[in-house]
Every structure is written in C-alpha cells, then in structure tokens.
Chains A and B, each alone.
Chain A
C-alpha cells in the first residue's frame, strides 16, 4: 500500500529574478514500512523535496498525496493538524526544547494532541527505552551528547504515532559512532514496528543501511534502487 504519492512535483524559487528549479518534475511513491534514503549532491533539492512532502513548503506545481489526502491543498490550520497527526520530523540540528527534559520533549506533542497522562507516561517511557535512553529520561538536552539528543528527537518524532518519519540529514552533526548507533535504532524500529523512515543523507554508511536509495540531481530523480 502506498502511503505517499508524489506526482510531477515542481518547485521554483525566485520566479521573477533568476528562477531556480529546486524540484523539477519528481514523481515518486513510498510504501508503508520503507527505509528509504534520498541522496544527491549539495543543492540537488533533497531538503526542498522533504519539506514539500512534510507540508512545510508548497510546490509550484504537482501534488503530494498522503494516505489519500493532498497535503499541499490543505489550509494552514488543517495542515498543521495533519502534520501533527501523520508526520514525524527529525531535524539535522535535533531542535530539542532546551528547558524540557528528555521526557518532556517527547511528551510535548502528545500534550498538543490532548492525550491523557497515563497514555503519555507509558508511551514516553516505551519510546525512550526503544532509543536506549531509559536512564536519561529526566536529563535536559544540554546534559546529553549530540547522538543522545538526536535519539530523543527520534523518540519525539514517534510520539504522535505518525504514519511515517521524515529526517533531513539526521546524522550530519553526529560522529561515526553516534551515527551508527542512531541508524541501528532507526533500523530496528523499522524492522520491528514497521515504521516508515524517509531520510536524506550525504553519508555513505547511512546510504549502505538503506533498503531503497533514491538519487536526485538538479531536482530530478536520476536513480531509484531497491535492495
């Protein structure tokens, strides 16, 4: 079953001056349970593509349909709500809330969703255990390493039970050991819980772990390989 359907997607920046075709006619689909890497040189359009899939940016042309809903057609409030319920985000810079502990960071989105305390506590514990941080549950981000922070970010992305997770260069700020560790955790979640991950990367080791590698250049898909 396809969870994401992308058809003839275009994105032009600076339409008046010198137009930049950041995404130039991409048609792609993703199935539930994929572990897919998007690779390509710098400026090839990876971030732009992920942002449009995540509904953070609007395409100039084309559609992104998620589970039957054309996200780029949703209005502001509905789209935010849709993101909250369906999409998990992991960012390159972790972007944890510094005043919150690991637990509170993970819990936050469940607060936004209006989940009750029991459910929040249970899920937060499960998730932080799953990313190997059960013992750091009450630590603030400044007491955690980069790798640990990114693992909290993965737990946070999963907290809302999204249909898939988008991660733009999640390992770019991590050393090789933390990268490997994070990848192991993501892979395990993917294999055991069938969680869909779509991530962009420059890192060959990350690419090696992916089961599908989509290469884009100048905003277009040049290869799409399933292993």
Chain B
C-alpha cells in the first residue's frame, strides 16, 4: 500500500520526475556504453596481441626474452613442438628463429626484428596472412620471400617483388647478408608492429645463418581458449622445466595491465557518475519533502507512523532512480548490442588509433558483470540519496507541518 502510494507520488510532478529520470537514464546509459566501448577496444587489442603478434604461449631458452640474444636458442625445437602439438586445447604451434637485424632497400635501411617461420605452422599460429593487403604469405617454394608491413614498405620506399637485403650475424659471428624479395605486404592495427617486424621462411634463415635444422629461438603456441593460457602454460612448464614458458599476459605486461586497469577505471567511473546523480536526486527529493510538508504533517497526525513516512520517501526516491536506471541500462544494453554487431567506425581517428596499436572500428562488448554491477549501483544510489530527504521528512513536527502558511 505504501509502495503504490509512493509510486503515485513519483508522478505528481511529471515534468520534474521526468527530468530526473532522464538524468539518471542518461548517466547510466553513458556508464554502460562507455564500459562496453572500452571493453570492446581492450578485447580487440588483446585479440590482436594474441592472434597476430604473440599467440597464447611462447617458449624460449631462459634469458632470450630479455636480450634477444641470437646465441640463446633451443637445439631440439622440433621434438618439443611435437609434444606440445599433442596437448589438449592446442590449436597450433610453430617454431621461430628471431633475429634483430638490418634490412636495406636501394634507398635506405632500418633495424627490424626478423622472424623465421615454417609457413605451414605459421599460417595457423598467427592470422597475419589475413592482414595481407598485397601479395601472398610465405610459400613453401620460391626464392627467399619476405613479408613486411606496409609502414616499413613506405619507409624503405619499396613495393611488392622489390628486393631487400637482410644483414644478420651467423653462427660464427660473421656478418652475412641475403637478398630477399617482397612477397607480401601486411597491415595490422598496430603501426609499431608493422614497422618493426618482418617474416621470412625458417629454412632460408637456417641457410643464411648456418643454424642447425632443429634450432629455434621461440616456440609459439595458440590455444582454442584465452582462459586456458595460464593453465596450459603451467602444464608446458612442468613438461620442460628448463625452458622459459610465458603466457601472453607475461609476454606483454601492457596487455595484462590493460585488462586489470580498465576494470578498475570503469568501476571508479560508474561510482563517479552515480555520485553526481545522487546530488541531483537528493536535491529533487528535498524539494518534494518541502512541498509536501503539510501533507506529511497531516499523514503523521492521522496515524502514519515515522517508519512508514520514512519508507514512503525512500521508496519514492528508489522508484525515481530505478526507473531512470532501468531505462539507462536498457538503452546502454541496446546500443552496445547494436554496435557490437555493426561496429563503431572512428575513421577520423584511424591514424591516431593505429599509432597506439588499436583498431579504429570498435565493437563494444557488454558482459553480465557490468550489467549486474551497474544495476546494483543504481539501487544503492537510490537508497543512499533517499536517506537524507527521508530523514528530513522524519524530523517534521506535525503541528508545524499542519499550520497553514
């Protein structure tokens, strides 16, 4: 009964209630949509990190990750690879030779990280071949093909089928150079990656450097599930206790940090929105109490006890914020799901996003936790902003409240 009374009271001043409900709805909407948007960006970045750049797990000889030292390598990479490919949830795995080297065109030269891969495994471990804008990915046959990023191609002023000279150290610490022909040009959303990483066939690098056929610096492992990275890492680590096994969160601390820091920022962001809304609601409800002084006095006089008066004002406030909150959550959910399907194209910031490694098309990601968390915060906000106005109503003295004028 008090609850239906409170609901009717909400609609006494329709415009005022509509204004505050709209404010709550917009605030909640903004909160949810921003979280979904940020989640979308982060998820996309992580997907790229895993699918294109790092894969889920990498295995090295201890010390290699810190120095990229050519001499720190695994000698039995093929047998390790064989065992790993048999593990559950492993979709693909491949060995790589990784050398910091110089690449030169007729015009200029620059330092790059040259990665030698087995084309068959490489295509499965990384989705780089889907990022090709020109040419083909490394093939089994043909002479010394190299795949480079668009940004590097621009920098070296070269195009498809042009020659570049790659200079590396061989096993005897001599400088050796090899001529490679550009077979494909890729473009990812990460300009840094495009500029600094090139791909050649493992076998060509073996020939150039004089490495043994089973030797490699790195084994990359792709899983069928992000969540299993750590668990599988532990399994592999137990199998090869003398090797350095890292998952993507460790390989790219930036990415691991993104996930946890964004969660925290969003948590605080919602709290700030809700606090701001609290003040608006408190202000409105104080006006409501002030306007209804006579009526509240009458209600107390005829026998509505203080608990009921308090409850009534709290309910009115909670209804206001819940109505707005529900609208905002629905809007936020709707907009996020719509754009999750269609994407938001921030083409005017494409360059800026690419500089920091992000795609300019964002697909918002809305998760159950965000929805539940926001709903709980809306309810909390309603209750918290109700307390002071309801307390004010309690303090009314019926004789003064009834007095006319």
Chain A positions near chain B (C-beta within 8 angstroms): 51, 54, 56-57, 76-77, 80-81, 83-85, 88-89, 91-93, 95, 97-100, 108-109, 111-113, 156-157, 160
Give the chain B neighbours of A100 by CB distance below 8 A.
8
Measured CB to CB, the nearest residue on chain B to A88 is B302
Q: Please judge, given known A-B contacts A95-B298, A97-B295, whether A80 and B1 are in contact too, CB under 8 Å.
A: no
Distance to closest chain A CB from B385 (angstroms):
22
Distance to closest chain A CB from B310 (angstroms):
12
- In the assembled complex, B300 has its CB within 8 A of some CB on chain A: yes
**Cross-chain contact of B301 among A83, A93, A98, A160 (Cβ < 8 A):** A83
**Cβ A84 vs Cβ B306 within 8 A:** no
9 contacts between A and B (CB under 8 A): A77-B305, A80-B304, A81-B303, A93-B404, A99-B12, A109-B302, A112-B1, A112-B302, A156-B302
**Cβ B302 vs Cβ A89 within 8 A:** yes
Give the chain A neighbours of B5 by CB distance below 8 A.
108
- In the assembled complex, B45 has its CB within 8 A of some CB on chain A: no
A98–B298 alpha-carbon span in the complex (Å): 13
**Cβ A89 vs Cβ B304 within 8 A:** no
Interface size on B, residues (CB 8 A): 22
**Cβ A83 vs Cβ B303 within 8 A:** yes
Q: Please judge, given known A-B contacts A97-B295, A99-B8, A99-B9, whether A84 and B303 are in contact too, CB under 8 Å.
A: yes
Which of B301, B304, B404 has the largest number of chain A CB atoms within 10 A? Answer: B301
Q: Which residues in window 369-405 of B have CB below 8 A to A?
A: 398-399, 402, 404
Measured CB to CB, the nearest residue on chain B to A160 is B303
Q: Which 10 A-B pairs have the closest CB atoms?
A: A84-B303, A95-B298, A80-B305, A99-B8, A111-B1, A56-B399, A93-B404, A56-B398, A57-B399, A51-B399
- In the assembled complex, B308 has its CB within 8 A of some CB on chain A: yes
12 other A-B residue contacts (CB within 8 Å) besides A77-B306, A99-B12: A54-B301, A56-B301, A80-B300, A80-B303, A80-B306, A81-B303, A84-B303, A85-B303, A108-B5, A109-B303, A160-B302, A160-B303
Q: Please judge, given known A-B contacts A80-B305, A81-B303, A85-B303, whether A91 and B398 are in contact too, CB under 8 Å.
A: no
Give the chain B neighbours of A51 by CB distance below 8 A.
399
A84–B301 alpha-carbon span in the complex (Å): 8
**Cross-chain contact of A91 among B298, B304, B306 (Cβ < 8 A):** B298
Distance to closest chain B CB from A139 (angstroms):
16
A97–B306 alpha-carbon span in the complex (Å): 18
Distance to closest chain B CB from A168 (angstroms):
8
Distance to closest chain A CB from B161 (angstroms):
81
Give the chain A neighbours of B303 by CB distance below 8 A.
80-81, 83-85, 109, 112-113, 160
A83–B303 alpha-carbon span in the complex (Å): 6
**Cβ B399 vs Cβ A93 within 8 A:** no
Measured CB to CB, the nearest residue on chain B to A173 is B404
Give the chain A neighbours of B11 by CB distance below 8 A.
99
Distance to closest chain B CB from A198 (angstroms):
15
**Cβ B302 vs Cβ A83 within 8 A:** yes
Give the chain A neighbours of B8 by CB distance below 8 A.
99-100
Measured CB to CB, the nearest residue on chain B to A169 is B404
Measured CB to CB, the nearest residue on chain B to A156 is B302
Distance to closest chain A CB from B291 (angstroms):
11
A135–B297 alpha-carbon span in the complex (Å): 29
A89–B398 alpha-carbon span in the complex (Å): 12
Give the chain B neighbours of A97 by CB distance below 8 A.
295
Give the chain A neighbours of B12 by CB distance below 8 A.
98-99
Give the chain A neighbours of B404 by CB distance below 8 A.
92-93
- In the assembled complex, B56 has its CB within 8 A of some CB on chain A: no
A93–B301 alpha-carbon span in the complex (Å): 14
Measured CB to CB, the nearest residue on chain A to B309 is A80
Contact with A along B281-310 (1 / 0, CB 8 A): 000000000000011011011111110100
Q: Which residues in window 291-331 of B have CB below 8 A to A?
A: 294-295, 297-298, 300-306, 308
Give the chain B neighbours of A157 by CB distance below 8 A.
302
Q: Please judge, given known A-B contacts A76-B306, A80-B304, A109-B302, whether A91 and B1 are in contact too, CB under 8 Å.
A: no
Give the chain B neighbours of A111 by CB distance below 8 A.
1
Give the chain A neighbours of B301 by CB distance below 8 A.
54, 56, 83, 89, 91
**Cross-chain contact of B305 among A57, A81, A89, A108 (Cβ < 8 A):** A81
Give the chain A neighbours of B399 by CB distance below 8 A.
51, 56-57
A110–B58 alpha-carbon span in the complex (Å): 75
A147–B404 alpha-carbon span in the complex (Å): 17
Give the chain B neighbours of A54 by CB distance below 8 A.
301
Give the chain B neighbours of A109 by CB distance below 8 A.
302-303
**Cβ B9 vs Cβ A112 within 8 A:** no
Give the chain B neighbours of A85 by CB distance below 8 A.
303
Give the chain B neighbours of A83 by CB distance below 8 A.
301-303
Give the chain A neighbours of B294 by CB distance below 8 A.
93, 95
Give the chain A neighbours of B402 by CB distance below 8 A.
56, 91, 93, 95
A99–B300 alpha-carbon span in the complex (Å): 17
Distance to closest chain A CB from B14 (angstroms):
11
Give the chain A neighbours of B302 by CB distance below 8 A.
83-84, 88-89, 109, 112, 156-157, 160
Contact with A along B26-70 (1 / 0, CB 8 A): 000000000000000000000000000000000000000000000
Give the chain B neighbours of A57 by CB distance below 8 A.
399
Distance to closest chain A CB from B289 (angstroms):
15
Give the chain B neighbours of A99 by CB distance below 8 A.
8-9, 11-12
Measured CB to CB, the nearest residue on chain A to B12 is A99
A51–B300 alpha-carbon span in the complex (Å): 13
A91–B298 alpha-carbon span in the complex (Å): 8
Give the chain B neighbours of A95 by CB distance below 8 A.
294-295, 297-298, 402
